[in-house]
Amino acid sequence: MKKNLILAVILIAMTVAVFIATTQLNAASSSDPRLTEAIALSSRPGALKKLLKQTDKKYRDELSYLLINMPAADRDTMSLELLMENVTYAHLARERFPWAKSIPTELYLSDVLPYHVVDEVRDAWRKELYELFAPIVDTCKTIEEAHHAVNLLIPELTGVHYNTLREKTNQSPRESMRQGMASCTGLAILLADALRAVGIPARFAGTASWHDNRGNHSWTEVWFDGKWRVTEYYLPSQLDHLWFMADASKARPEDRRYAIYATRFGEAPDWFPMVWCGDDSTAIEDLPHTIGAKNVTNRYIALHQEQQARHTEAGTHTLLRIAGYAHHGATQQSGDRVAMGVDVFRGTEQMGGGLTAGPHRDMNDFLTLLLPKNTEYELRYNNAQGELQKVKVSLSDTPLTVSIFQE
């Protein structure tokens, strides 16, 4: 009797799960009144109705979801052939890979199916990236394995490397591959799209400015184990332990310029501040409000705090403190100190960075990083003449304070 009751409960639970998944997809079905409204507001309703009518039934709900949630400008102008190619290959990835089949339908719709990340050119990336990476992940059993494989090989397979000489900030995958280069925003777009191409939920994240005004940064988030994980181009093994986590922990959730946002396709609680759309004089609120987002600052703060506590308790890390000064031999007065941008590397891997304390900060205030013990590091910064300086330091079991100089 008890066994029969347990089986009955399991069957009910499975039925509810199927109903929820079906309801989520049907929420964007071709009979959805939101679709009727979206098409009516478009400048080409006839073409969109014809597309829906001609679309194979197995793709129709996915196409409907995109038409409802895509930016109005895309609904009016985007190539319909390109839109269908995106739907077809997203569907193909979901059918082919086990992780893509198992993710919640809502997550598939919002973070695998979309054809864009931010405001990049809408180009035909999905088929190309699918054909590049599908053979690479075919033997993977989990999303984590597949993410690692994609991120490990993406520089080699796409030929794209970090370089600030790229043509523009918000490059599409094809623009970056044509040049063989991209800065952090273009790399984040490319990685997110490569992951999506093989059915892995991915989204774009970043900040308009770090807390010390050292500039903006963009990266990628990937979903597995039921949560969003922090990743970045070149660094598949550094999940949630990226070089910028200390900076991210100082972000300000209440200030849009210094908060951290993750993009969200369609309806969203907030919008992403795309600083590349303006210049230094552009007010943050004057940037385009066209890309939906969620403020995720508090999650980064909590994540870094948890990591710091764990490292400290384990006794595997210690503190590297860095002070910046204008001249050698003048380090005693607050006026001697200079705010200098410095990056810390272990070999070719960036471990952190930041801005040293300037003349108006307390003399006990240092740029402080928690780093693995008994390791060699290299500090990189520019002197007053703009020349790159490299200083090697050896971090032992105890905290170390290092001084760097502009002259």
Give the count of beta carbons closer than 10 Å to the beta carbon of residue 66: 24
pLDDT of residue 7: 45
Instruction: Share the mean pLDDT of the chain.
Output: 91
How many Cβ atoms sit within 10 Å of the Cβ of residue 394?
9
pLDDT greater than 80 at residue 9: no
Mean pLDDT (whole number) for 371-392: 95
What pLDDT sits at residue 365? 80
Q: What is the mean pLDDT of residues 61-84?
A: 97
Tokens of 349: 């891997």
Whether the pLDDT of residue 42 is over 90: the answer is yes
Torsion over CA: 139, 144, 146, 150 (sign): negative
> What is the pLDDT, as a whole number, of residue 29?
60
Residue 354 pLDDT exceeds 70: yes
pLDDT band for 162, please (50, 70, 90 cuts): very high
How far apart (Å, rounded) are the C-alpha atoms in residues 307 and 312?
A: 8
The lowest-confidence range among 17-26, 109-118, 169-178, 225-234 is 17-26
Residue pair 137/194 in contact by the 8 Å Cβ criterion: no
Q: Which of 20-29, 168-177, 239-248, 280-289 has the lowest mean pLDDT?
A: 20-29
Q: Quick one: pLDDT at residue 30?
A: 58
CA separation (Å) from 395 to 316, 319, 377, 381, 399? 12, 8, 7, 19, 8
DSSP designation for 249: T
Q: Burial level of 67, CB count in 10 A (0-12/13-18/19+)?
A: buried
Q: What is the pLDDT of residue 179?
A: 97
* Minimum mean pLDDT range among 119-133, 331-345, 354-368: 354-368
Lowest mean pLDDT among 76-85, 197-206, 365-374: 365-374
Q: Which of 75, 70, 71 is nearest to 39 (CA)?
A: 75
Q: Quick one: pLDDT at residue 3?
A: 45
**Which residue in this structure is represented by tokens 């088929």?**
127
Angle, CA 394 vertex, CA 357 and CA 364 arms, to 5°: 25
Least confident of 110-124, 171-185, 231-245: 231-245
Verdict on whether the full-model pTM lies above 0.75: yes
The predicted model gives 83-101 an average pLDDT of 97
Domains, the chain: 117-301 (3.10.620), 316-405 (2.60.40.10)
Dump pLDDT digits (tens) for 109-146: 999 999 999 999 999 999 999 999 999 999 999 999 99
CA distances from 290 to 10, 44, 189, 272 (A): 43, 21, 17, 8
Q: What's the rounded mean pLDDT across residues 197-217?
A: 94
Please measure the distance between the N-terminal and C-terminal CA atoms of the chain and give it in whole angstroms.
Answer: 84
65-76 average pLDDT score: 96
pLDDT at 19: 40
Quote the pLDDT of residue 11.
43
Confidence of residue 28 (pLDDT cuts 50, 70, 90): low
- Report percent pLDDT > 70 for the chain: 93
Res 21 pLDDT > 60:
no
Average pLDDT over residues 264-279: 95
